[in-house]
Amino acid sequence: MQDPHQPTGRPLLATADTALAEELTRLSAAAGAAVAVASSPPEVLGAWSTAPVVLVGADLVPLLVELAPPRRPGVQVVSWSPAPPGAFRDALLVGAERVVELPVGAELVAELLTDLDEVGRGEGVLVGVVGGSGGAGATTLACGLGQVAAVSGPTLVVDLDPLGPGCDRVLALDEAAGVRWDSLGTASGRLSGRSLREAVPRREGLGVLGWSSTPAPLDAGAVREALSAARRGHETVVVDLPRSGELVAETVARCALVVVVVVPTLTGVAAAARWLGTLPDPARVGLVVRGHHVDPQRVAALVGAPVLVTMADQRGLAEALDLGLGPVRSRRGPLARAARELLAAVTAPVRAA
């Protein structure tokens, strides 16, 4: 259903500078965006509230400041470099998000126009999955969550564990063409949500951002931008987390829910409790306990987090992976049921099982 508060018109290019208008029109065409062009303040005001993005030339901004249009998101002031005196002050007064100087900022303008489907929509939910101990099955659960979430909307599984089995391999996308961390791990600048969604290996509604055959260290800034773009381009983003590393605490802090997969043995519970103790704020952590005849309250007390789901081992899992079906083979299996409960818990208060 269309959000009644979301702009529904075409992006607006507002400038009386002929050369600037031609350049912005060229960038719009390259981005595949049909735009409206206005060269006077009254024309700008007429489309101000309905355009998903407003690109205002620095030549018109002083006149708009006098007219005081209502504040709205998505307004950018565009200027040839260097910006004229007063452009940044006027941009602030008109409520613009930034001043973009051309030609250096041409890529940013193109990305803004490419990402029109992201304007006015909320960001997708971020769910982290980590093994309470080695071999707990976190990657399998992360991929299962991705498969189940993809039934409802665009979903991305992000593999941050370079020493894991590989989410792309578990989802049988390891031979599919697409962008992997070796292309993004040192990237800088804003990453388009739609571009990321279309670039990663994917099957129908499910994509995966994984590793090349020779994983390399990731830049923290590149990971932040990739996760931000992933949320802008997907309804659900599932992150397969490593048990340790510089990026773990920061990524956990960005998650709506962090799922710790616990093997209910003495060593499995102890390892999960130790991992939880490394977090500055474990408030958004919930447990998935594998196995039969488990006392959830006892496990929760020992680990220090609520048990969201107890899950039996899934029969035929290895066969399903060998056949390239992914871990969720049947919506009635224990993995699918657990995934549905966890996705429901993302929007519900975390409570003990």
Residue type, 248: V
Length of the chain: 353
Q: How many CB atoms lie within 10 A of CB 83?
A: 18
pLDDT for the residue numbered 137: 94
- What pLDDT does residue 349 have? 46
- Placement of tokens 């390239």 in the chain: 324
DSSP tag of 71: P
298-319 pLDDT, tens per residue?
999 999 999 999 999 888 888 8
State phi, psi for 99 to the nearest 5 degrees: -110, 120
Tell me: the pLDDT tens digits for 142-193?
999 999 999 999 999 999 999 999 999 999 999 999 999 998 866 555 677 8
> Does residue 227 register a pLDDT over 90?
yes
Spatial contact of 222 and 255, defined as CB atoms under 8 Å apart: no
Rounded to two decimals, what is the model's pTM? 0.74
CA atoms of 201 and 235, how far apart (whole Å): 17
pLDDT of 112 above 90: no
Type and span of the H or E element at 343: helix 334-346
List CB contacts of 94: < 8 A, sequence separation 6 or more. 56, 61, 64, 65, 69, 75, 77
Cα–Cα distance between 330 and 340 in angstroms, integer?
Answer: 12
Q: Are 57 and 15 in contact (CB under 8 A)?
A: yes
Mean pLDDT of 121-149: 93
Bridge partners, residue 14, by sequence: 38, 56
Q: Is the pLDDT of residue 117 over 90?
A: no
Q: Phi and psi dihedrals of 188, rounded to 5?
A: -130, 160
Rounded to 5°, angle at Cα 182 from 181 and 183: 85
The pLDDT of residue 276: 96
Residue with tokens 């209502």: 70
Amino acid 291: pLDDT: 85
pLDDT digits (tens, 9 = 90+) for 6-48: 455 789 999 999 999 999 999 988 877 888 999 999 999 999 9
Please report, rounded to a whole number, the percentage of residues in the chain having pLDDT higher than 70: 92
Phi-psi region of 306 (alpha: psi -120 to 50; beta: other; left: phi over 0): beta
Q: Where are the beta strands (DSSP E) in the chain?
A: 12-14, 36-38, 54-57, 75-80, 98-102, 125-131, 155-159, 202-203, 206-209, 236-240, 257-262, 285-290, 307-311
pLDDT at 119: 54
Per-residue confidence (pLDDT) for residue 111, from 0 to 100: 78
User: In angstroms, rounded to a whole number, what is the distance separating the alpha carbons of residues 200 and 178?
Assistant: 5
Considering the chain, what is the average pLDDT of its residues?
89
Average pLDDT over residues 331-349: 87
**Where does the pLDDT of residue 215 fall: very low under 50, low under 70, confident under 90, or very high at 90 and above?**
confident
From CA 333, how far away is CA 89, in angstroms rounded?
59
Task: Quote the pLDDT of residue 321.
Answer: 87
Q: How does DSSP classify residue 210? A: -
- Under CATH, which number does the domain 12-116 receive? 3.40.50.2300
Q: Where in the chain is the domain with CATH 3.40.50.300?
A: 125-346
Homologous superfamily in CATH for domain 125-346: P-loop containing nucleotide triphosphate hydrolases (3.40.50.300)
Q: What is the mean pLDDT of residues 82-99?
A: 94
For the chain, give every residue range classified as CATH 3.40.50.2300. Answer: 12-116
98 strand-pairing partners: 76
As a whole number of angstroms, the distance between CA 102 and CA 80 comes to 5
